[in-house]
């Protein structure tokens, strides 16, 4: 079995066996149906690409409501151990347990494995219905900090002893009198976590030969959290990537706006303005590095610009583990009805294949999805926005994609 374990260690090259074991959690709500659809597509593409020389040994591990019913635990230790052992996992959406010991399973997983970078590529697939005039100009990858900011989950309800202690502390330290009935939330943003996130975003831009990395922040208002994220972002660009990067300021002042070859432009934008820019001039943005909450908002808005949550993949990367998952949730209102779009999970698996270097297979999947959408054979979420489309169920959409793998 050791031969089938992906070796993924900090600062070392990954070692990928030809038949790696990859654990997966089907997830709640639409999870099981999109999982079954996605797995068929991925397996077909791998067989088609590698003729049996490569193959994934999928290992189902418990997680979510199904696991809770069977074992009394939302995320049993055996699942944590399997992800630790096999390094890379794929998961469907998980419902946030109500009243459970864990605030959110997703947050718990990301924190357990220190999956500090949430990566969400946003790319237009030809023929997908979009509210944009030129959706083809959108090609961005968001690197969202995944461990702190609002994900720290530190809050006190209005009226509690803790909230009133903090309100008194703030009055003493700043002279500001907050309303006594305030709830209090803490938003920590640290130098180390900001720098490692921005460093990963810049490394990615260098590797993929992308032209810019934008630091998204609200530093004009929150100077020591969001503003500091911006400052630390510029610092790490200089410390680690001075050879490969120039700032936008240098570009204008020293290079008259002409970017030297092989240099990546590091720029920053205030969050509200960036929302406007990605609508008006999306072609100016390539990689965006953002603190947790900003990144969450922006990625859903951008997903809507290129076809919605049904086609939005994502990954959570740490130093020694990675968990790939679609951006969307469990979509309870359509669960179990064969209506869900498995596209996000299929594209998520394609991202995973890219990550382990099986790029030909990933590319075949993307082409097949594009072909299927071009044929106007799509799930309901896309069909209702397309003229003359044939509406397919989740399962049938996967079959149509499989038929287009070439
Ligand atoms: P959601 O993403 O489940 O649904 C939002 C809207 O998008 C709904 O109208 C839904 O029907 C539609 N939608 C989502 N995925 C779709 C797909 N594949 N095909 C077609 N339509 C799709 O978000 P919501 O309703 O806020 O959350 C529901 C549950 O999911 C909550 O318990 C939440 O905590 C959880 N959640 C889990 C996530 C994860 O596991 N990573 C991420 C987001 C939410």
**What pLDDT is recorded for position 259?**
93
Q: Which of 328, 335, 379, 393 to mutate to test the pocket of ligand 1 (most atoms within 8 A of CB)?
A: 328
Contact 303, 124 (CB under 8 A): no
Question: Is 218 in the active site?
Answer: yes
Question: Is 124 in the active site?
Answer: no
**% of the chain with per-residue pLDDT over 90:** 87
Instruction: Give the closest residue (by CA) to ligand 1 atom 39.
Output: 93
| Vertex 92: Cα angle to 86 and 97 (nearest 5) | 105
Handedness of CA 147, 346, 97, 109 (dihedral sign): negative
Integer Cα distance of 105 and 79 in angstroms: 12
Instruction: Give the closest residue (by CA) to ligand 1 atom 41.
Output: 93
Contact 344, 309 (CB under 8 A): yes
Q: Which of 329, 330, 347, 348 to mutate to test the pocket of ligand 1 (most atoms within 8 A of CB)?
A: 329
Selected from 3.40.309.10, 3.20.20.70, 3.40.718.10, 3.90.550.10, the CATH number assigned to the domain covering 1-123+314-406 reads: 3.40.718.10
Selected from 3.40.718.10, 3.40.50.300, 3.40.50.1370, 1.10.10.2840, the CATH number assigned to the domain covering 131-145+189-305 reads: 3.40.718.10
**% of the chain with per-residue pLDDT over 70:** 98
328 lines ligand 1 (CB under 6 A): yes
Integer Cα distance of 191 and 307 in angstroms: 35
* Mean pLDDT, range 95-104, rounded to an integer: 70
pLDDT digits (tens, 9 = 90+) for 343-361: 999 999 999 999 999 999 9
Question: Is 272 in the active site?
Answer: yes
pLDDT digits (tens, 9 = 90+) for 179-223: 999 999 999 999 999 999 999 999 999 999 999 999 999 999 999
pLDDT higher than 70, residue 147? yes
Residue ranges covered by each domain of the chain: 1-123+314-406, 131-145+189-305, 149-187
Domain 1-123+314-406 identical in fold to domain 131-145+189-305? yes
Band the pLDDT of 106: cuts 50, 70, 90.
confident
20 lines ligand 1 (CB under 6 A): no
Contact 155, 356 (CB under 8 A): no
Question: Is 74 in the active site?
Answer: no
Lowest mean pLDDT among 170-174, 328-332, 384-388: 384-388
Distance 30 CA to ligand 1 centre (A): 9
Q: Is 40 left (phi over 0), alpha (psi -120 to 50) or beta?
A: alpha
380 lines ligand 1 (CB under 6 A): no
pLDDT higher than 60, residue 1? no
357 CB-contact burial (10 Å; exposed 0-12 / middle 13-18 / buried 19+): exposed
Catalytic residue among 151, 285, 364, 381: 151
Integer Cα distance of 89 and 58 in angstroms: 9
**What pLDDT is recorded for position 210?**
96
Two structure tokens written together for 223: 């100077």
Integer Cα distance of 166 and 184 in angstroms: 8
pLDDT higher than 60, residue 100? no
Contact 310, 379 (CB under 8 A): yes
333 lines ligand 1 (CB under 6 A): yes
Catalytic residue among 26, 296, 364, 381: 296
106 lines ligand 1 (CB under 6 A): yes
Instruction: Give the closest residue (by CA) to ligand 1 atom 44.
Output: 329
Integer Cα distance of 82 and 135 in angstroms: 40
**What pLDDT is recorded for position 360?**
98
pLDDT higher than 90, residue 310? no
Two structure tokens written together for 319: 């130093």
Contact 22, 58 (CB under 8 A): yes
**What pLDDT is recorded for position 107?**
83
SS3 362: helix
pLDDT higher than 80, residue 2? no
Residue position matching structure tokens 């309901």:
380
Give the up-direction half-sphere exposure of residue 146: CA atoms within 13 A in the CB hemisphere.
28
Mean pLDDT of the chain: 94
Catalytic residue among 26, 44, 218, 364: 218
* Mean pLDDT, range 302-316, rounded to an integer: 91
pLDDT digits (tens, 9 = 90+) for 31-76: 999 999 999 999 999 999 999 999 999 999 999 998 999 888 999 9
Produce one character per residue of 248-264: b if its CB has 16 or more CB atoms within 10 Å, e if not: beebeeeeeeeeeeebb
Residue position matching structure tokens 């990859």:
22
**What pLDDT is recorded for position 96?**
81
């Amino acid at each position: 079995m050791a031969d089938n374990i992906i070796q993924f260690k900090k600062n070392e090259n990954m070692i990928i066996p030809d038949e790696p074991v990859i654990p997966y959690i089907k997830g709640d709500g639409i999870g099981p149906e999109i999982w079954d659809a996605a797995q068929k597509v991925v397996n077909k593409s791998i067989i088609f690409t590698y003729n049996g020389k490569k193959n994934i040994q999928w290992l189902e591990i418990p997680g979510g409501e199904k696991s809770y019913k069977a074992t009394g635990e939302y995320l049993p230790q055996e699942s944590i151990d399997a992800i630790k052992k096999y390094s890379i996992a794929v998961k469907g959406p998980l419902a946030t347990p109500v009243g459970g010991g864990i605030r959110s399973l997703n947050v718990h997983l990301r924190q357990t494995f220190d999956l500090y970078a949430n990566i969400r590529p946003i790319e237009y697939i030809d023929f997908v219905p979009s509210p944009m005039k030129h959706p083809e100009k959108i090609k961005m990858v968001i690197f969202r900090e995944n461990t702190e900011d609002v994900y720290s989950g530190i809050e006190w309800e209005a009226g509690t002893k803790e909230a009133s202690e903090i309100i008194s502390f703030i009055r003493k330290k700043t002279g500001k009198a907050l309303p006594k009935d305030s709830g209090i939330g803490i938003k920590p943003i640290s130098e180390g976590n900001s720098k490692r996130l921005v460093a990963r975003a810049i490394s990615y831009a260098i590797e993929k030969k992308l032209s810019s990395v934008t630091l998204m922040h609200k530093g004009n208002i929150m100077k020591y959290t969001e503003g500091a994220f911006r400052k630390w972002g510029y610092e790490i660009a200089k410390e680690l990537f001075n050879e490969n990067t120039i700032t936008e300021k240098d570009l204008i002042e020293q290079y008259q706006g002409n970017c030297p070859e092989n240099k990546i432009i590091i720029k920053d934008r205030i969050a509200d303005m960036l929302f406007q820019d990605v609508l008006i001039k999306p072609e100016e943005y390539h990689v965006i590095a953002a603190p947790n909450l900003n990144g969450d908002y922006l990625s859903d808005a951008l997903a809507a610009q290129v076809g919605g949550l049904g086609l939005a993949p994502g990954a959570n990367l740490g130093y020694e583990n990675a968990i790939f998952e679609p951006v969307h949730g469990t979509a309870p209102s359509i669960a179990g009805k064969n209506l869900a779009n498995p596209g996000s999970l299929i594209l998520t698996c394609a991202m995973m294949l890219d990550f382990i270097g099986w790029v030909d297979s990933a590319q075949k999947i993307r082409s097949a999805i594009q072909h299927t959408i071009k044929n106007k054979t799509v799930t309901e979420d896309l069909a209702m926005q397309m003229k003359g489309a044939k509406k397919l169920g989740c399962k049938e959409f996967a079959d149509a994609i499989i038929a287009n793998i070439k």
